[in-house]
Amino acid sequence: MKPITRSRRFEKNFRSRISPNLKLKKQFATRLQLFKDGVRDYPLDDHPLVGTMKGLRAFSIGGDLRVIYRETAVHYEFLDVGSHNQVY
């Protein structure tokens, strides 16, 4: 498994959108572990993005919440987290 880095934007949005809600924080931790274990289908529903976000990918952390990330040769970089409307 490649290491995961987090952009400043991801960190800021995680603190404001996910951390205040304990349920969402636990859900994120569960989905992050699945991601690290190599799960890409249900329940993550990992998929490539299109249009202006081509080259990036997204996975679900539950309901309408998504993590936007980029995969490079050496790591995964988490770029943003939030609802569908907030990240797209």
In the chain, where the domains are located: 4-87
pLDDT of residue 16: 97
In this prediction, residue 19 carries a pLDDT of: 97
Listed in sequence order, the residues at least 6 apart from 48 whose beta carbon sits closer than 8 Å to its beta carbon are 54, 56, 57
What's residue 85's pLDDT? 95
What does each of the 88 residues of the chain score in pLDDT, given as a tens digit? 899 999 999 999 999 999 999 999 999 999 999 999 999 999 999 999 999 999 999 999 999 999 999 999 999 999 999 999 999 9
**Could you tell me which residues are beta bridge partners of residue 71?**
76
The most distant pair of C-alpha atoms in the chain lies apart, rounded to whole Å, by 33
Q: How far is CA 43 from the centre of its chain?
A: 13
> Is residue 59 helix, strand or coil?
strand
The predicted pLDDT at position 17 comes to 97
pLDDT score of 1: 84
Give the Å distances, CA to CA, from 9 to 37, 42, 43, 68, 71.
Answer: 25, 26, 25, 11, 17
Fold of 4-87: YaeB-like fold (3.30.2310)
